[in-house]
Every structure is written in C-alpha cells, then in structure tokens.
Structure 1
C-alpha cells in the first residue's frame, strides 16, 4: 500500500483541528505563537498516523488510538532528534486535542490519553547579578557612535530589567503610551493585560532617548524606533547586548531576556512574594514563576559550598 502524503489529513480531521485551535484561542487566551505551535504539533502527529496506519487519520480512526500508537509517535519523534522538552510539549498539545475530540464525539480515548510524557529537567533561568546588569547598561551606553541609538538601547534594556517586560512588550509601546505615569498597562501573551509600576529611572532614560531621537513622537508611531524610523526589532537590542557582554566577559546567557529574569530574581532576593512577582511578569501560572525560587536556592547553595569550612 502506498503511504499517503506527508500530512495525511482528511477533510473532517482538518475541520476538527481548525475548530479546536479556534476554541483554544478564544477560551484559553492562547497567543498567536502558541496556536501556531499547536498547529505544527498536531500536523506532525496526524502526518505520523497517516504513515503509521497507511491511511489518512479521521475522527473515527482517532477514536481507536491506543498507548502503543502514542509510544510509536514518541519513538519516531525522538529518532528525528526532538528533545524531551519539545516532545513533552508536542504530546501535551496532542492530548489536548484528543481530549476535546473525545468529549465532542463521545469517544473513549482514555487508553491513548494515559500515555506518559517524557520527563525532562527544566532549565533554570540565568539572570545577571545587579552589578553585571548595571555594567552591561553602562557599556551599551558607551558602545554606539550615534548618541540617540545608544540612549534608545539603554532605555529598552532598562524597561526589561527595571520593569520585567518581555522584549516584545517593550518594543510594542507606541507614542500614545508616553509620558509614563506611575504604572503602565502592558498587553502580554494571549492579549492579557497587567499594570506594571514604572520606576522613575525608567521614565528618565526614556525621556533622555526621546530628547535625542531625530524622529517626532506621534501617538500612532512606535515609541522605540530603528535608524530608518520603523519599529525597532529585538535583534538590534540583542546585538547591542552581545557587544557589551563580549567587552565585559559576561557569559552567552546574558541576553535581553536574561534582564527580565534578573528583574524577577532581584525582587525575590529583596523579599518580594511570588504572587506579586507573578502578576508583574504576567505569568498565567504560579508554577512558571516558582522556577525563580530554584534559582535563588541554587545561588544560596553555591555561596554556602564556597564559604562553608566543610564545603
């Protein structure tokens, strides 16, 4: 029998997948990035089933799935080189779709849903120390021949470190968001909004950048602009920080996102509680924020082992 095409997607299955993605986006506030990832995960799964069974996957054939099918899919993905963390995410998306499909169609997919995801060690964030963060910003300030560009890069990075913003959140700000008040409303992942306290130092560095910027600030225009006037890209900030870390001898983990990690770990070290930090970061789940307690504990043990006489 000739295997079907690479996706092996029957029309009824394609319609079910499209509907599930719509439900996820509408009822669970999934971001566009997450929906795209889920679509890729399910297409990989359904394509595998098409080749595995020799026929396009349909809602009826999906009702007959067993643990052996799920294990075969996991084995195929691992053979392709997919890591444990990526495979766990892919299997989570598959289970979510199958659970929704079984509820809608009245199928019993408990056998397939019982398949376990691979265990993996969650990597810990690698924040900068307060001194490293300050030195990096100072190096960025002195690292560009064009003063307004240097001021812009410092302003963006200060928003990441001082306010805990994602780089995409900082770069999505427009002229209408200025001047900053005591707090700023940020639209994060999944369109969720949160209020972030605005430190005076953040207002000051943004004001310094705007004073030097050659571009007129307009409500509908980007707050942070590239050299040609368009919205600044995250890649330019990454380049500026890469140069600074090379000059300072900082590790490759010193990235723009590490400044956001630094915001969280520095707050925790100063006595901030996890719930508040969760709100400030815009995490949907407290478990995502709790990873910073592991960072704090790891640093504590590192200091203990270095300082203790029997370490």
Structure 2
C-alpha cells in the first residue's frame, strides 16, 4: 500500500503540473498511472510503505530493479522511457520541496528504441481519401460531415480531438482558427477555402441546429461525433481505395506536414501549424521526406 505521504506528494505534483504547465487531462492521467506503478513497485521492493524519507533515499540499484521489473512485464522500451521521464519529473519537483540530491534517479538512462517515423499518404492518395470518404454513408449530410472532418485533418493539420472539439460558435469557419491543442497550448491555424467550403456544405445539410456551445460535428443521433466513427469511416475508405493499414485519420495530419515540407515549407512554421512543443518532434518529417526520396531513387535510378 502506498503511504499517505507519498500519495499526497503525488497529488501536489500533479496539481502543480496542471497549474504551471497547463498539462491536459490525458497527460495528467498518464503521469498518475506511471507514478503509481513506480510507487507500488518501490513499496513491494522495499517491503513496506514508502514515505517521503525512503523515496528520497532511492538508490541506483533500486532504479535498475524497477526498470528490470518493468521490462520483465513486457513493457516496451518506448513506454519505459515515458515512465522514466515521469519519475524524473516527479523527483525534480520532490527534490525542490524536500531538499535532497536526486542524482540516483535522474542519472537512470532510458533504454534505446527505434523511433517510429510518421507514415503519411502520397498526395494522390490523400486527395482520393477526400474524394471517396463521403461515399461510405447513405445519408448525404453524414457524407458531407466526414468529408469536412477529413479536410480539416489534411488541409489544416488538425488532430481528430481538435477537429471534433470545434463548436457552433466556430461556424462559419474564419480564415484563421484559434486551436487549443495538447497541454492547453493555443495556436493559430490558417483555414483553406476548401476546408471552409466543406464545412459550409456539411452545415447546410446537417439536420441538427447549430448552437454556440453545441459540437460542430454531430453523430447520427445528434450528439457529439465520436472519434471512433471517424476512424471507422477511414477504415472503410482505406479498403475501398486499397490503401495500407497505416492510412488512418492521423495519417492525414502527417500528410499535411510532409506535403508542406516537400513543397518547401519552413520547418519552424510547420511546427507552429502542428502545435508541436518541440522542434525535434517536427523534424521527424524531414526523416520521412529523406526516406521517401531514397525509396524513389532506388526504385527509379537507371543504375539501381
């Protein structure tokens, strides 16, 4: 059982993350889950509840034991790196409040892992998705809705949650949208005429009234459109077009970034459009572009 003192410290840490860094609810849930796993392990590993004093005395061997245990449960290197990052953040905060040296924890090295590159669609495939997605529904307004959502993902680089988070007060779409993304971070996103037209078409056909606080995109029964429905219609579209399993709604956002970069877009500007906190995240698209270029080279060069 985790000690009350450790539980209280965890709650205080999460409250600070929410207040100072604007961490999203999902991020806070992930932090809580990762840190609870760590505290439960240390409780069992040490043979009793770990109050603040024992937590400040965690050794390098204790950290190695925790990481070995986590890998032994089948946890992948990427997931373990995320958990370790949460633990280190917690210990940095704890060290400031309890005044101790957290080196044993902070010196723990994350396991190496192969970073997965985004898998965008070719430009013709992305266009085919926009042309075909409306055919997956027998109701015109639902087909128009699905086209509008996909156009926002590809034309504006929105996440599904961001597109489905739009409300009636966002309609009709302005030339620029103010989007609140991960961690509550706001960004301004230019809206293409094609995206505005797609949303206007959907709104004309939608049988449900648009109120300022109602969701812009409605499900068949009038409630908020579920992300799973967006994923489902993409699966149907993918099968019809013969696209790979990597052709997901999020791949439309990847395609937005990759195609901008291929056309000479500035990396910093793309970072802002996507709402990435770190440029290193956006730089993965340069690796995608280089990989695709080499594939084309190897496939078409006369000496290949």
Question: TM-score, structure 2 length as denominator?
Answer: 0.98
Partner of 1:128: 121
After superposition, residues 179-194 of structure 1 pair within 5 angstroms as: 179-194=172-187
Match of 1:204 among 197, 202, 214: 197
Say which SS state the counterpart of residue 236 (structure 1) adopts. helix
Mapping for residues 269-284 of structure 1, pairs under 5 Å: 269-284=262-277
Aligned pairs, number: 304
- Which residue, out of 20, 30, 33, partners 2:26? 33
Question: Aligned with 2:16: secondary structure?
Answer: helix
Asked if 2 retains the 8 angstrom alpha-carbon contact of 1:245 and 1:254, the reply is yes
Q: 1:91 deviation in Å?
A: 0.5
* Residue 286 of structure 2 is aligned to residue 293 of structure 1: yes
Query: 1:33-81 CA deviation, whole Å, 9 max, x = no partner?
Result: 1110000000000000111110111110011111111111011111111
Aligned to 1:21: 14
Match of 2:62 among 52, 56, 69: 69
Distance 1:64 1:272 in 2: 50
Structure 2 counterpart SS, 1:141: helix
Contact 1:13–1:59 (Cα < 8 Å) also in 2: yes
Out of 214, 218, 223, the position equivalent to 2:207 is 214
1:87 pairs with 80, 86, 92, which one?
80
Q: Point out where structure 1 has 5 or more consecutive residues left out of the alignment.
A: 1-7
Match of 2:228 among 235, 240, 252: 235
Residue of 245, 250, 256 corresponding to 2:238:
245
Give runs of aligned pairs for residues 89-104 of structure 1, distance below 5 A.
89-104=82-97
SS in 2 for 1:215: coil
Distance 1:28 1:143 in 2: 41
Offset of residue 239 of structure 1 = 0.7
Alignment partner of 1:259 out of 230, 252, 255: 252
Matched ranges for 1:129-168 at <5 A: 129-168=122-161
CA contact (8 A) 1:130 1:266 kept: yes
How much does 1:30 deviate? 1.3
C-alpha displacement of 1:110 = 1.0
TM-score (norm 1): 0.96
1:23 CA drift (Å): 1.1
Q: How far is 1:31 from its partner? A: 1.1
Whether the aligned pair in 2 keeps the contact of 1:67 and 1:113 (CA below 8 Å) is no
Once the 2 structures are TM-superposed, how far is the Cα of residue 279 of structure 1 from its aligned partner? 0.5
Instruction: Point out the more displaced range, 277-286 or 299-308.
Output: 299-308
Task: Tell me the secondary structure at the aligned position of residue 194 of structure 1.
Answer: strand
What secondary structure is seen at the aligned counterpart in 2 of 1:186? strand
Which residue among 166, 172, 176 is the counterpart of 1:173? 166
Shift of 1:111: 2.1
User: Aligned-pair RMSD on alpha carbons?
Assistant: 0.9
**Shift of the alpha carbon at 1:89?**
0.3
What SS does the aligned partner of 2:136 have? coil
**In 2: Cα distance, 1:259 partner to 1:112 partner:** 39
Q: CA deviation at 1:144?
A: 1.2
